[in-house]
């Protein structure tokens, strides 16, 4: 059982750095030392640890900090399956466009600052995929597929404003002169429409789809395309310049920062997509944010249930997007850099918050992510709908989020939640364990962090787990009040200060002690006679060198066993030696020592062969024992890593085996002519072992094998007949018989 206690920092000052240093030294100690002790620690303090947990109104940063999430309030529940576009006018009215299969068709909704949302305009098309507010708070909406740009008249009546004669309309944006720019597919053209509704193709991207669109203060358009994954700047004269060709197939969103930087989201792998496992319909990811509509809608207009996302361009199937997403930042000087990526999340939208930080809406887990820097990001919120399809930076430092599966509208902030909780992943101690002290590290900022625990013997918390224990609010923690069990979970509750500041939880440690169980000796094998195991060397002297793991990869605790046995072992020939090896395990991963005893089958007491054996094998000189049948007893003890009063042992007795150091006996060796041949006859017998082979040699020549008269060498007694051709002169004939214990005897006869 691991017994390297984790040091704890004392005092204040650089507590964060010292705590991390102590933790690193503790983990390295587990790797570098070959001995262990009792108390172990379940430690969580990294993003990878917290990512496995479940949060409610709590955000997680990529450098491993938990804090209260921004306020997240549902303000409108539409009749559409998806909301794709958001816009706000000068009076604070919000406009949301949506639709999707299984819903009531293309819809434009309006939500007043103080009032209830309603349907402003409707179409028979599949969906509204772009909304823009022009001069005088005039609202425009574009439908897809085979749609048009509509001006919304008083009373919500839609009037055709412009027909780009394109299959899809993905995005719209106004310039300072009131010209409307429209991004289309499936020709990838950008159209410019005057305030009077006169327009034409302004820029041809050369791509199938112009998917994302933004405009900077100088009137330059920033366009994202598909399938080349291009980010293009187009000046007011209609001259384009490719700023970056992304590694992803489609640029789903672009956003402009105050310093002139451009942020862009790329999704989808280029080339053939690798096979991915299927997922349930509610979790099916779209290959792109705004996909084309099928020509017929499944279900009725009254249906409003969770539907699979629409299909990728141009297929009508719904495969999972391969490759996840990437976010790129193109600096004011044009230098591109990837600042975020994820293998599963699909980025649909980017917006800049009031502090100039990019905020990303993603699927298929409904995460809203903020890029705090090029190296650190925060998972701010987890929306219950599975896709956050559109984000809008509204007036008064407010953010709005539109969702799909199902179509809802949320307000983000300002300010943080007053209280939130985080439930850790379930810890598996691998066996029944006693719980010790629970401690944590946090920055309170005037707020409060409290921790509770619960335990059970089912791998997932269910009704048969214990109730949550009383909360610990001090960082030094206290004894875990949950009953001993195999599994443990903790829950943190974060409460804001009176002035709204959030505490930050950085690390949690839970001490535990697995119940000691006896080791198990599962099998004993007697090795071939006349071979011995090589000598083993083992030292507990600390090494003078230390090998650190790669950055970002936690050290793995070394095995607690003192044994140097690796399973496969070479043996060396040594006449008279006998050996045994055994299989032994310990559920606590304790170090084990072995004692080996021997006893003849007719003896009443065990005799010690060797004590304090560290390896899982032993060889000994058997010539000091009389020939006969014996058994071995191997006893395993976990005493090296347990207090004497708690140490446990287990033993196993081997099957019977023979010690045989006496060679076979050769009798009746004769030679006489018979039938024109010289017949040599003899008998061989062994008291314990099978006669394995017989050989003969004439006049000192090479030894030649000979079969017994029964042809099979399968008995302890055999007769042999050797027929030689007659020859003149004297011949010396030698015979040699060997048993299965490698004992042999030799006899000679001279024929004249």
Indicate the DSSP class of residue 363: E
Beta 731-739 vs 531-532: how paired, if at all?
A: unpaired
What is the average per-residue pLDDT within 43-54? 94
Alpha-carbon gap, residue 752 to 750, rounded angstroms: 7
Give DSSP secondary structure letters for 132-179: EE-GGG-EEEEEESS--EEEE-TTS-EEEEE----SEEEEEEE-TTS-
- Helix, strand or coil for residue 590? coil
Q: Whose CA is closest to 363, among 320, 332, 422, 394?
A: 320
By the 8 A CB rule, do 526 and 580 touch?
yes
pLDDT in tens, 601-649: 999 999 999 999 999 999 999 999 999 999 999 999 999 988 898 899 9
Cα angle 587, 592, 597 (rounded to 5 degrees) comes to 120
In this structure, how many other beta carbons lie within 10 angstroms of the beta carbon of residue 609?
17
Fold of 520-540+556-659: Immunoglobulin-like (2.60.40)
Alpha-carbon gap, residue 180 to 223, rounded angstroms: 14
Q: Which range has the worst mean pLDDT, 6-20, 414-428, 556-570?
A: 6-20
Q: Name the CATH architecture for the domain at 70-128+150-167+243-415.
A: 7 Propeller (2.130)
Alpha-carbon gap, residue 233 to 328, rounded angstroms: 15
What is the average per-residue pLDDT within 479-487? 95
Q: Which range has the worst mean pLDDT, 118-132, 280-294, 625-639?
A: 280-294
Give the per-residue pLDDT at 302: 32
Can you name the residues that pair with 140 across neighbouring β-strands?
132, 151
pLDDT in tens, 171-213: 999 999 999 999 999 999 999 999 999 999 999 999 999 999 9
Phi, psi (5° rounding) for residue 415?
85, 175
pLDDT in tens, 28-47: 444 333 334 478 999 999 99
pLDDT in tens, 62-111: 999 999 999 999 999 999 999 999 999 999 999 999 999 888 899 999 99
**Peptide linkage before 314 cis (omega within 30 of 0):** yes
Q: How confident is the model at residue 20 (pLDDT cuts 50, 70, 90)?
A: very low
Phi, psi (5° rounding) for residue 63?
-95, 15
Can you name the residues that pair with 59 across neighbouring β-strands?
67
Q: Does residue 539 carry a pLDDT above 60?
A: no
Q: Whose CA is closest to 84, among 42, 46, 117, 129?
A: 129
Cα angle 538, 544, 547 (rounded to 5 degrees) comes to 95
By the 8 A CB rule, do 437 and 477 touch?
yes
Helix (H) or strand (E) holding 17: helix 15-32
By the 8 A CB rule, do 741 and 530 touch?
yes
Q: Whose CA is closest to 149, among 91, 208, 191, 114?
A: 191
Q: How confident is the model at residue 543 (pLDDT cuts 50, 70, 90)?
A: low
Alpha-carbon gap, residue 735 to 666, rounded angstroms: 9
Alpha-carbon gap, residue 511 to 419, rounded angstroms: 27
Residue whose structure tokens are 């391969």: 322
pTM of the model: 0.71
Q: Does residue 440 carry a pLDDT above 80?
A: yes
% of the chain beyond a pLDDT of 90: 74
665-751 shares the fold of 520-540+556-659: yes
- Helix, strand or coil for residue 30? helix
Residue whose structure tokens are 């949301």: 96
Q: How confident is the model at residue 591 (pLDDT cuts 50, 70, 90)?
A: very high
Give the per-residue pLDDT at 565: 53
Q: Whose CA is closest to 293, among 119, 157, 132, 124?
A: 124
Q: Kindly report the length of the chain.
A: 752
Q: How confident is the model at residue 143 (pLDDT cuts 50, 70, 90)?
A: very high
Alpha-carbon gap, residue 521 to 650, rounded angstroms: 7
Residue whose structure tokens are 């020709």: 187
- How many H helices and E strands in the chain? 2, 55
Q: Does residue 379 carry a pLDDT above 90?
A: yes
In this structure, how many other beta carbons lie within 10 angstroms of the beta carbon of residue 314?
12
Six-digit token pair at 493? 């509750």
Q: Which range has the worst mean pLDDT, 308-322, 386-400, 608-622, 679-693?
A: 308-322
Q: Which range has the worst mean pLDDT, 10-24, 296-310, 647-661?
A: 296-310
Give DSSP secondary structure letters for 491-509: EEEEE--TTSPPPEEEEEE
pLDDT in tens, 289-334: 333 333 222 233 333 333 333 333 332 223 345 669 999 999 999 9
In this structure, how many other beta carbons lie within 10 angstroms of the beta carbon of residue 655?
9
Give the per-residue pLDDT at 728: 83
Fold of 665-751: Immunoglobulin-like (2.60.40)
Q: Does residue 274 carry a pLDDT above 50?
A: no
> Can you give the C-alpha Rg of the chain in angstroms?
41
Q: Where are the domains of the chain?
A: 47-69+420-511, 70-128+150-167+243-415, 520-540+556-659, 665-751
By the 8 A CB rule, do 366 and 387 touch?
yes
By the 8 A CB rule, do 482 and 435 touch?
yes
Six-digit token pair at 573? 């020939």
Alpha-carbon gap, residue 315 to 309, rounded angstroms: 12
User: 47-69+420-511 has which CATH code?
Assistant: 2.60.120.260
337-to-156, 228, 326, 375, 471 alpha-carbon distances in Å: 44, 18, 10, 12, 45
């Amino acid at each position: 059982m691991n017994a390297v206690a984790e040091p704890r920092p004392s005092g204040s000052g650089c507590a964060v750095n010292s705590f991390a240093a102590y933790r690193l030294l503790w983990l390295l100690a587990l790797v570098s030392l070959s001995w262990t002790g009792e108390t172990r620690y379940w430690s969580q303090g990294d993003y990878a640890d917290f990512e496995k947990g479940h949060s409610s109104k709590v955000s997680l940063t990529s450098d491993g900090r938990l804090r209260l999430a921004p306020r997240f309030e549902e303000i409108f529940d539409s009749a559409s399956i998806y909301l794709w576009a958001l816009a706000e006018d000068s009076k604070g009215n919000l406009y949301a466009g949506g639709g999707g299969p299984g819903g009531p068709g293309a819809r434009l909704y309006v939500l007043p600052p103080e009032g209830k949302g309603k349907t402003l305009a409707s179409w028979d098309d599949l969906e509204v995929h772009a909304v823009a507010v022009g001069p005088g708070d005039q609202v425009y909406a574009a439908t897809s597929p085979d749609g048009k740009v509509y001006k919304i008249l008083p009373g919500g009546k839609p009037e055709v404003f412009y027909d780009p004669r394109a299959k899809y309309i993905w995005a719209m944006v106004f310039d300072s002169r009131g010209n409307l720019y429209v991004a289309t597919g499936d020709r990838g053209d950008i159209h410019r429409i005057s305030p009077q509704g006169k327009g034409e193709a302004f820029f041809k991207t050369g791509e199938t789809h112009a998917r994302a669109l933004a405009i900077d203060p100088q009137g330059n358009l920033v366009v994202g395309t598909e399938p080349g994954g291009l980010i293009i700047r187009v000046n007011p004269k209609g001259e384009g310049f490719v700023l970056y060709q992304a590694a992803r197939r489609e640029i789903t969103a672009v956003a402009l920062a105050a310093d002139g930087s451009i942020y862009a989201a790329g999704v989808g792998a280029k080339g053939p997509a690798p096979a991915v496992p299927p997922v349930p319909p509610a979790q099916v990811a779209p290959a792109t944010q705004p996909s084309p509509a099928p020509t017929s809608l499944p279900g009725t207009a009254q249906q409003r249930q969770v539907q699979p996302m629409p299909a990728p361009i141009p297929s009508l199937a719904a495969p999972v997007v391969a490759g996840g997403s990437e976010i790129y930042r193109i600096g004011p000087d044009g230098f591109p850099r990837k600042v975020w990526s994820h293998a599963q999340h699909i980025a649909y939208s980017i917006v800049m918050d009031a502090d100039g930080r990019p905020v990303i809406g993603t699927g298929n887990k409904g995460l809203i992510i903020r890029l705090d820097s090029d190296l650190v990001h925060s998972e701010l919120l987890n929306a219950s709908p599975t896709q956050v399809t559109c984000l809008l930076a509204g007036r008064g430092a407010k953010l709005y989020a539109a969702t799909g599966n199902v179509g809802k509208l949320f307000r983000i902030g300002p300010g943080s939640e007053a209280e939130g909780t985080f439930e850790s992943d379930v810890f598996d101690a691998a066996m029944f364990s006693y719980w010790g002290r629970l401690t944590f590290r946090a920055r309170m900022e005037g707020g409060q962090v409290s921790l509770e625990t619960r335990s059970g013997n089912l791998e997932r918390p269910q009704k048969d787990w214990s109730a949550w224990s009383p909360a610990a609010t001090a960082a030094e923690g206290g004894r875990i009040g949950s009953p001993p069990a195999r599994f443990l979970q903790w829950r943190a509750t974060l409460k804001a200060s009176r002035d709204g500041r959030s505490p930050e939880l950085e690390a949690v440690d839970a001490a535990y002690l697995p119940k000691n169980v006896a080791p198990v000796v599962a099998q004993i094998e007697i090795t071939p006679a006349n071979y011995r195991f090589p000598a083993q060397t083992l030292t507990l002297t600390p090494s003078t060198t230390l090998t650190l793991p790669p950055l970002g990869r936690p050290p793995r605790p070394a095995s607690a066993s003192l044994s140097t046995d690796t399973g496969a072992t070479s043996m060396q020939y040594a006449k008279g030696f006998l050996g045994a090896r055994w299989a032994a395990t310990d559920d606590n991963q304790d170090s084990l020592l072995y004692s080996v005893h021997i006893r003849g089958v007719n003896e009443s007491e065990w005799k010690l062969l060797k004590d304090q054996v560290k390896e899982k094998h032993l060889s000994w000189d058997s010539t000091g024992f009389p020939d006969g049948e014996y058994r071995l007893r191997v006893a395993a003890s976990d005493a090296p890593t347990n207090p004497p009063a708690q140490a446990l042992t287990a033993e196993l007795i081997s099957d019977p085996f023979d010690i045989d150091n006496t060679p076979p006996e050769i009798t009746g060796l004769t030679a006489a002519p018979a039938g024109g041949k010289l017949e040599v006859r003899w008998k061989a017998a062994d008291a314990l072992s099978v006669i394995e082979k017989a050989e003969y040699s004439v006049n000192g020549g090479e030894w030649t094998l000979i079969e017994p008269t029964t042809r099979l060498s399968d008995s302890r007694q055999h007769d042999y007949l050797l027929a030689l051709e007659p020859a003149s002169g004297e011949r010396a004939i030698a015979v040699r018989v060997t048993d299965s214990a490698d004992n042999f005897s030799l006899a000679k006869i001279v024929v004249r």
